[in-house]
Structure 1
Amino acid sequence: MAPTPPKLNPSGPGIGLLNEKPLHASLKQWYGQPGDCFEVPVDGFVIDIVRGDRLLEIQTANFSAMKSKLTKLVQSHPVRVIYPIAQEKWLVKLSTDGDKANTRRKSPKKGRVEDVFWEMVRISHLIPNPNFSLEVLLIQEEEVRRFEAKRRWRRNGWCTEERRLLAVVARHLLQTPADWLAFLPQGVDAFTTKDIADAMGIRRELAQKIAYALRTAKLIELIGKRGRGNLYRVAV
C-alpha cells in the first residue's frame, strides 16, 4: 500500500509557515528538535533553523538561489544544507472536472543520493570549507499537479502545484572530504567519468557533474587523458 501523508501540526511553536511550501514546512517540522529556533535573522538573512551555533537551511529546489547567501554565511558560521531527494514519488493530478476524482499513480523514477550533484555543481566551491556540510534526505513524496491550458508546452499543460512529504526513508551526511570522495571508484589510482558512472551505476552526464564538483573543490585533479576522456586522481 502506498504511504499516505503524515498528519502535521502546521502551527507548531515558533514555526512560521506563511507563504511556505508544504514540503519545506513539513521537513522543517520533521528536522526540528527541542531547543531549536526557527526563522531567525542572521547577518541580514532569515535562517530556517538555528541549533546552537549551527545554521540549518532546508532547500527543496535550485541551489543557485542560495549561492550568495551560503557563501557569505560560511565565512563566520557552521552552515548545514538539508536537501530532499524523492526516492519514491506519487503523482497526483487534480481533476479538471468537478464530477471526477483526482488520479494518483506511482512514478517509475527513483531518486538516489548521487542526484544531489545535479545541484552541487552550483555551490561546489563550498565543499572544502569546514563550516559547510550537506545532509541528503531520501524521502517518499507526493507531487500534486494541476492543468493549465496556457502551459501546454510543458507536460501537456500539467504543472506542479505543490510537493508533499510522505516519509523520510534515509539520511546521508556529507561533511568531510572522505564523505565526498566516497562517490568515486574505490581501489584505483586514476579514473574517468565513465569509471565513475560504471562504478556507481549512474548516467555519464551525472558522473561528469560529480567530477566537475570535486575538481572545483580541489578534492580531485586532472592528470591527463585516457582515450577521449579526462583522467583524474584524488588530489594529494
Structure 2
Amino acid sequence: MESSLHRQLKALYGGARGDCEVTVEGFRIDAVSRGRLIEVQRASLAAIRTKIAALLANHPVTLVKPIAVRTLIVRRDVPNGPVVSQRYSPLKRSLFHLFEELVFFGTVFPHPRLRLEAVLVEQEERRISRARRRFNGPQHRVEDRLLLNVVSRRTFRTAGDLATLLPAALASPFHTRDLAEAAGVPRWLAQKAVYCLRRCGAIDSVGKVKNSVLYARRARLGRSRRAA
C-alpha cells in the first residue's frame, strides 16, 4: 500500500505539469516531468536497482530517496481512534546515511542519465497497537507515514558529488575510524561510505597502517553544479 509520504513526494516532484503513475517500457513510473522519469523510493534501493538500470538505457531518471532526519511517532489503539501517545523517535539520521543504501546501488550509480536526489524530511509515523502480539514481534504495526516538512535536498550525479560528503576537516590519508570521528557517525557507516566512494572512483586505497587500510581522495573529480 502506498504511504502518504510516498504520494506527497510524488506530487512534489511531478509538479503541476507532471503526469503521475505512467507506464514506460512495461514499468510503472511514479511521475514524468518534462521528459524525465521520476521514481520515489523510501525502501531499500536494492529493490529498485534492476528497474532503474533498465530505464536508464533510454531515459533520463531522477531517483528520489527520502531520509527521515526527525520522526514523530503517533500511536493509536485502533485506526482513526484517539491518539494514545506521541513522541519523537530517538533515532536521528543525516545525509551521510545515504551510504547505507548506496552499497546496494553501486552497479547503477553514477550514470550519465541518472540524478540521485536525497531529500531530508521530517515525517509522522502512525502506529496501531497489535491486539495480539507475535512472539518476540513488534507491539505495533505502521499504518502510515506522512511528510511534515522538507528540510533540504541534495542532488548527486557524479563520483565527485558523492565525495563532497567527506568532511572538509578529514585528514589525508585516512582510515575508517578517522572518517567516523570526523563525520560523527558509527564506524560501520563509515565503512559503508568508504566502500561506496571507492567503488565509484571517488577515493583510492593508498596503503596500510597495521591492519587499517588508508584511503585518499582522488584528484580532479568532476562535480555537478547543482550538487555543490
Residues matched between the structures, number: 217
Look up the match of 1:207. 190
Counterpart code for 1:195: D
Question: Are 1:92 and 1:144, in contact at CA under 8 Å, matched by a contact in 2?
Answer: yes
Look up the match of 1:44. 26
1:176 aligns with 2:139: no
1:135 aligns with 2:117: yes
Look up the match of 1:77. 59
Shift of 1:201: 1.0
Unaligned runs of 5+ in 1: 1-18
Secondary structure of the residue aligned to 1:125 is coil
Question: Are 2:110 and 2:157, in contact at CA under 8 Å, matched by a contact in 1?
Answer: no
Q: 1:230 to 1:171 in 2, by over 3 A?
A: same
Matched residues, percent identical?
A: 35
Deviations along 1:16-53, one digit per CA (max 9) or x if unpaired, are: xxx42211111112223232121121122111111223
Counterpart code for 1:79: V
Look up the match of 1:147. 129
TM-score in terms of structure 1 length? 0.83
Look up the match of 1:190. 173
Unaligned runs of 5+ in 2: 220-228
TM-score in terms of structure 2 length? 0.86
Which shifted more, 223-232 or 38-47? 223-232
Deviations along 1:150-203, one digit per CA (max 9) or x if unpaired, are: 435233x22222211111111111123221001224474422111211221111
Shift of 1:227: 2.8
Q: In 1, distance between residues paired with 2:147 and 2:191? A: 30
Secondary structure of the residue aligned to 1:115 is helix
Q: In 2, distance between residues paired with 1:98 and 1:66? A: 32
Which among 68, 72, 84 is matched to residue 102 of structure 1? 84
Which among 73, 76, 94 is matched to residue 112 of structure 1? 94
Q: In 2, distance between residues paired with 1:235 and 1:176? A: 13
Q: In 2, distance between residues paired with 1:216 and 1:135? A: 19
Shift of 1:218: 2.6
Which shifted more, 123-132 or 218-227? 218-227
Look up the match of 1:218. 201
Question: Are 1:152 and 1:158, in contact at CA under 8 Å, matched by a contact in 2?
Answer: no
Secondary structure of the residue aligned to 1:184 is coil
